Structure 1
Amino acid sequence: MDPSAPPQSLAELDEQVTHCRACPRLVAWREEAARVKRRAYQDWDYWARPIPGFGPPDAALVLVGLAPAAHGGNRTGRIFTGDSSGDLLYATLHRLGLASRAESVRAGDGLELSGVRITDPVRCAPPDNRPNPDERDTCRPWLAREFEFLRPTVRSVVALGGFAWQALLPVLTAAGYAVPRPRPAFGHAAHIVLAHTDGGPPLHLFGCYHVSPRNTFTGRLTTEMLTDLLRSAAETAGLTLSG
């Protein structure tokens, strides 16, 4: 993030994210994946840039993942789009009445989220889906600033996986939420309430197994488990559901 030109809105922040080249390994990998395409996507012009968050600037519920997939978001330009993880996530949000359609194909396909924003702690596709700690920490200011803009409306956050949970805790501390010591452990359906140090509304933090094929194909995370978790988080955030 360029400190000489701080963003004045979430939309401005999202635009700035897409120009980041701070992590050489991630820049090289995202661009290499765009050159050496999967056979099924030979006719695609890959995005091959950092992925901003997706969803309205006044979201009450925020979902936090890990990083874009090399041939998913890195191809489509939208987080959790174009891979099986996104297929499950957006279908579940649609079932709950929080997404306008059940699938996400590419940025600009008409999909809209209602009261929900989705973001990642690391904005570029990493090799083997594994960003290293330095890359996570280098990317942290983007997530921290995102939460500054969302703070007036956000009431619930879902960490999709242990990586997201660990990446979130220092961000939430910096945002003024009282994260207990020792830090709470991640687990599916973990739920803690974080008071704000200035007396503002508290934040509900939920843990959820990541929607990765590794978890869904093995049954560690089922559609019913994800639906129940997202329903609880959405209801806690005050959102109206239809499913």
Structure 2
Amino acid sequence: MVASAEPSHDCPLCPRLHDFIAGWREREPHWFNGPVPAFLPKGSVRGDEDSVRLLIVGLAPGLRGANRTGRPFTGDYAGDLLYSTLIAHGFARGRFEARPDDSLELIDTAIVNAVRCVPPENKPTGAEISTCRGFLVPTIARFPNLRAILTLGGIAHQSTVRALGLRVAAYPFKHAGSYDVGRLQLFSSYHCSRYNTNTGVLTEEMFIKVFADIAEFLGK
């Protein structure tokens, strides 16, 4: 288990992902092309970490989304839905323009992926998920006032449950799920991917309802 919450830009722990990113560095040298760091409230001083009450855990960076831009959910459709919903419920402010230098700022919220590096075909292996959990555990621990975690999709949910030292069978993934896990409340939602919304697995109304529940829980 690694001690740091953030991997190095050239993290070698998952050879397949490391090699995949190396290939894209040659093809697109101006892209971020590395493990995508957690997106925190403006700045990275300790005070901002103290303000975080909600942690959102996604699956992994998209190739032309976060892998290109270096910020979770930035550059693809999933970010359009996620950030508009965050703004509507008081978890973010500013304007999301799908680039890391836009005016978007998170409020009391942090966003991270269960797997920090973009996987081929958006499919990380079990070993890669397990390895990257070594960064998820200290990420959760870095926020002393954290009260709620939202997992987006089954893989993110299962990895988060394991990162909390809990049994997956006792906390199964379900959309609009909510579990009391001690000092935290664990919420879950289908991932806000274009595939899920196009197929009707997730509607905008379903997604908004999850955030309404979280806002009510946090008293926002």
Q: CA deviation at 1:230?
A: 1.2
* 1: CA distance, partners of 2:152 / 2:92: 18
Q: In structure 1, how many angstroms separate the alpha carbons of the residues matched to 2:211 and 2:179?
A: 15
Q: Helix, strand or coil: the match of 2:40?
A: coil
Identity of aligned residues (%): 38
- Given that 1:98 and 1:116 are in contact with CA atoms closer than 8 Å, whether structure 2 keeps it comes out as yes
* Alignment match, 1:52: 37
Q: Does 1:184 align with 2:171?
A: yes
For the pair shown, the structure with the greater C-alpha radius of gyration is 1
Deviations 1:194-220 (A, max 9, x none): 12xxxxxx2111110001111111121
For residue 38 of structure 2, what is the amino acid of its counterpart? G
CA positional deviation for 1:104: 4.3
Indicate conservation of the 8 Å contact 2:95/2:102, yes or no: no
Assess if the C-alpha contact under 8 Å between 1:91 and 1:101 holds in 2. Answer: no
Q: Deviations over 1:125-183 (max 9, x none)?
A: 00010000111111111110111111x2111111100001110111112xxxxx46842
1:228 alignment counterpart: 209
The residue type paired with residue 187 of structure 1 is K
**How much does 1:232 deviate?**
1.0
3-state DSSP of counterpart to 1:153: coil
- For structure 2, which runs of at least 5 residues remain unmatched after alignment? 42-48
Paired residues, number: 212
Q: Deviations over 1:5-28 (max 9, x none)?
A: x55xxxxx44x4434221111112
RMSD: 2.0
Q: Which moved more, 1:202-211 or 1:16-25?
A: 16-25
Match of 1:165 in 2: 157
Give the structure 1 partner of residue 141 of structure 2.
Answer: 148
Q: Secondary structure at the match of 1:94?
A: helix
Task: Give the drift of 1:31.
Answer: 3.0
1:45, CA displacement in angstroms? 1.4
The question of 1:237 aligning with 2:185 is answered no
Q: TM-score, normalised by structure 1?
A: 0.81
Establish whether residue 127 from structure 1 lines up as the match of residue 120 from structure 2: yes
Contact 1:63 / 1:119 at 8 angstroms: preserved in 2? yes
Conserved? CA contact 1:17–1:142, under 8 Å: no
With over 3 angstroms needed to count, the CA separation of the structure-2 counterparts of 1:52 and 1:183, relative to structure 1, is: same
What residue is the counterpart of 2:181 in the other structure?
Answer: 194
Q: Deviations over 1:58-102 (max 9, x none)?
A: 310111000000111010010110001111111111122222234
SS state at 2:98 partner:
coil
**Distance in 2 between residues matched to 1:106 and 1:80, nearest whole Å:** 10
User: Measured at CA, do residues 29 and 19 of structure 1 come closer, stay the same or move farther in structure 2, by a change above 3 Å?
Assistant: closer
Give secondary structure in 1 for the equivalent of 2:105: coil
